[in-house]
Structure 1
Amino acid sequence: MHRTTELHRVTAALCAIAVALAVVFTGHPAPARADGEVFDTGHVDAFYVSAPGGELTLSMKEDITGSGVVRPGNDVTLKVAEEAWSEATEGIDGIGVPTYYLPQTQDSSLLWPGWDTQSAQSAGYTDINFEFVEVTGPGDIFVFETAGFGDIQPVTDAGALDLVSGDVINQAYPAHRHVNWAFSEPGIYTMTVQAESNGDTSNQVTYTWDVGDAEATPREEESDTDHGAESSAELDDVTLGEASSDEPVSSNSGSRSGGGSSGGATRGAASAAGTKAAEQQAQDKNRKDRTERKERKERKPARAADKTTPAAENVDTVAAAGYYDSGQNLLPWGIGILGLGMLVLGLALARLALIKGRD
């Protein structure tokens, strides 16, 4: 018994030494256990880039549990409420379906996610790429900007609205920025992201999004069912019209002998056939839509030769629609005001010179 106890003690001590050596040589402690917090409303900079000690770091900053609270990012769940379901994205080319939609401008009843790279500029990191190492989920994720006059602009380097594994979003200058987010299906989505700048790469953070109510009937299936029911009714009406056209019309004062039974059987068979055809049509459409979404989701984006992003080219226009950053977009206004002031001054001097000339 004594020897067994001593053996257990030696084994425990060796395990402790091994863990300590792993921490020393890798420089990283064991991953922290998530505390189970869920954010479903309020402002959060999901991708918060800073440089403590000059080291490029990716984390999260939020104003939900406090003001400017910085946290790892993988310790919370970003909840997209069922109330986010909207048909606003159905008319957008590149999306074309209703989605769980988080707008670019703040809605107090929904989560307002964005990103912030301003804190990294103190270490010389100004042009930053967000690299989406892996994106998973039951449906498609769309990310885009709404510019002036309602123009829709992609934010990924690939130039597409949907976000897939391997995509990159470039933030060309220090900014605090918000965009539109949309999710096509309810369920759990994950994004494993890292920041890159000046040849340096940050730590990876896996962000978890819980979209909609997974226990509720999927919105698309509801839509397909309704569509199928309408198609069934239309098919029934047409079929019934064709079936009854060959039958003599019964009089209001009496009934046809045997005709009612035969007509009822014919209409019943036609109705059953129409319903079955409509159900099959709805199922075929559903399978086709899901196949197309899967193919789009697995698309590997083509990398552009340069790092130019539409957002960086249209800062002024985007700012008018709710996009805001560190203040660089105020430069054109300052130049305009200065020019106007110089013009007024020049006119005043010219008038003064004219008056003196007359004297």
Structure 2
Amino acid sequence: MKEERVRARRLLTVVPVVLLALAGPSGAAAAAPAPASPDAALDQSIAPDQPISPEPAVLSAGHVDIGPRYVDDQWTLLIHDDAVEAVWRDPDRTVLRVTDAAIQPVPDDPAYEFLGVAAGTPVHVVPQVQHPEVVWVGWNTQDPRVMRTIDRGVTLELAGVEGPGTVTMYVQSGTFSEPQVLWRSTEPPGQPMWVEVNTHTHANWVFTAPGVYLVAVRVSATLVSGEQVTATRHLRFAVGDATSSDAALAVVPPTVPAPSSSEAAATSAEEADGNTATWLVAALAVTAVGLTVALLVVLLRGRAARRSAERQRELT
């Protein structure tokens, strides 16, 4: 039984270059350290002049990332596609097609109970390590202008899911490590994930039923200027060979509510904490300098008083 579980676990296990935790610089969304075995396929850089394709596209294989980008000076989220040539694509005109080549059975292992379906159930898995017949979906914060303007990193959130089944995203470091869940459509929207600047990574995306899925993703950041920026876009997944890509392109995304003031405050908490710590250190330094100067003044005045008293005694 143990050997069967190990074999099953290998079906859904991959080794990432960058893992992400569910807690951050302030405990809300921090990046975990990179594992010891990096994948050369994740070593990439993005040129500043890469175009945004105006054409609709169906991507069923190859490497794609979601990531922040400026369009007409407006902060947004696009799909970076370098399966053939490197271009950015509009999520509203792009279908991520997950073919039946992605089908895997859920392992008979309690570690995968978070998927919410019984062991042995066939599910579609976009893997964390590239499969040549399955679209490989990750994320990056590597657009040159984005790297120049954001302060430390961005927050990615699952803002909502529409589809016939559930969607779960998780990472796993090595065959015997426990899965680390990042997003679950069965939980309330949000689930913030902190992504450092110049990050490129991938995860496992699990779809429990074939059909069209709209996955709303929100990307937020504090710029070096102090400005807060946010954008929400829908990723269109056509899961299963029988699912129409045209239907995925035609569906109208639902309206996603803007984050409440409390959610916005929580999203930027890690950045605020970092700035508060910086100012606290600076204030303590200034206070220490002030105390040192005051002490020197007291000492000098004491010396002057003693010398004056000695001169008075000599004169008398």
1:164 Cα deviation (Å)?
A: 5.7
2:163 matches 1:144: no
Match of 2:155 in 1: 129
Counterparts of 2:151 and 2:102, CA distance in 1: 35
Report the 3-state secondary structure (helix = DSSP H, G, I; strand = E; otherwise coil) of the residue aligned with 1:83. Answer: helix
Counterparts of 1:150 and 1:168, CA distance in 2: 26
**Is the CA contact (8 Å cut-off) linking 1:43 and 1:64 kept in structure 2?**
yes
Q: Which has the larger radius of gyration?
A: 1
Q: Aligned Cα RMSD in Å?
A: 3.5
Q: Given the alignment, which residue of 41, 56, 80 partners 2:98?
A: 80
Match of 1:211 in 2: 239
Larger relative contact order (Cα-Cα within 8 Å, sequence gap ≥ 6): 2
Q: Given the alignment, which residue of 78, 89, 92 partners 1:71?
A: 89
Where do 5+ consecutive residues of structure 2 fail to align? 1-53, 244-262, 271-316
TM-score normalised by structure 1 residue count: 0.45
1:1-359 correspondence runs (5 A): 35-45=55-65, 47-51=66-70, 55-66=74-85, 68-89=86-107, 91=109, 92-95=112-115, 96=117, 97-119=121-143, 120-156=146-182, 165-198=189-222, 200-214=228-242
**Is the CA contact (8 Å cut-off) linking 1:192 and 1:206 kept in structure 2?**
yes
Q: Which structure carries more strand by proportion? A: 2
1:106 Cα deviation (Å)?
A: 0.5
Q: Percent identity?
A: 24
Report the 3-state secondary structure (helix = DSSP H, G, I; strand = E; otherwise coil) of the residue aligned with 1:206. Answer: strand
Counterparts of 1:141 and 1:201, CA distance in 2: 26
Q: Which structure carries more helix by proportion? A: 1
Distance 1:214 1:196, change over 3 A: same
1:209 Cα deviation (Å)?
A: 0.2
1:163 Cα deviation (Å)?
A: 6.6
**Is the CA contact (8 Å cut-off) linking 1:143 and 1:163 kept in structure 2?**
no
Match of 2:21 in 1: none
**Is the CA contact (8 Å cut-off) linking 1:56 and 1:202 kept in structure 2?**
yes
1:167 Cα deviation (Å)?
A: 3.3
Distance 1:211 1:174, change over 3 A: same
Counterparts of 1:104 and 1:170, CA distance in 2: 18
Distance 1:192 1:306, change over 3 A: closer
**Is the CA contact (8 Å cut-off) linking 1:132 and 1:168 kept in structure 2?**
yes
CA offset digits 1:81-138 (Å, max 9, x no partner): 0121101455323124431011100111111000111222211343211223221110
Letter in 1 for 2:63: H
Runs of 4+ in 1 over 6 A off after TM superposition: 305-309
**Is the CA contact (8 Å cut-off) linking 1:90 and 1:98 kept in structure 2?**
no
Letter in 2 for 1:75: R
Distance 1:89 1:135, change over 3 A: farther
Report the 3-state secondary structure (helix = DSSP H, G, I; strand = E; otherwise coil) of the residue aligned with 1:148. Answer: coil
Aligned length: 188
Counterparts of 2:153 and 2:60, CA distance in 1: 30
**Is the CA contact (8 Å cut-off) linking 1:48 and 1:116 kept in structure 2?**
yes
Report the 3-state secondary structure (helix = DSSP H, G, I; strand = E; otherwise coil) of the residue aligned with 1:94. Answer: helix
**Is the CA contact (8 Å cut-off) linking 2:171 and 2:181 kept in structure 1?**
yes
CA offset digits 1:157-184 (Å, max 9, x no partner): x7x6867633333214430110111100
Report the 3-state secondary structure (helix = DSSP H, G, I; strand = E; otherwise coil) of the residue aligned with 1:138. Answer: coil
Report the 3-state secondary structure (helix = DSSP H, G, I; strand = E; otherwise coil) of the residue aligned with 1:118. Answer: coil
Counterparts of 1:90 and 1:163, CA distance in 2: 23
Letter in 2 for 1:93: E
Letter in 1 for 2:193: I
TM-score normalised by structure 2 residue count: 0.51
Counterparts of 2:98 and 2:108, CA distance in 1: 18
Report the 3-state secondary structure (helix = DSSP H, G, I; strand = E; otherwise coil) of the residue aligned with 2:241. Answer: coil
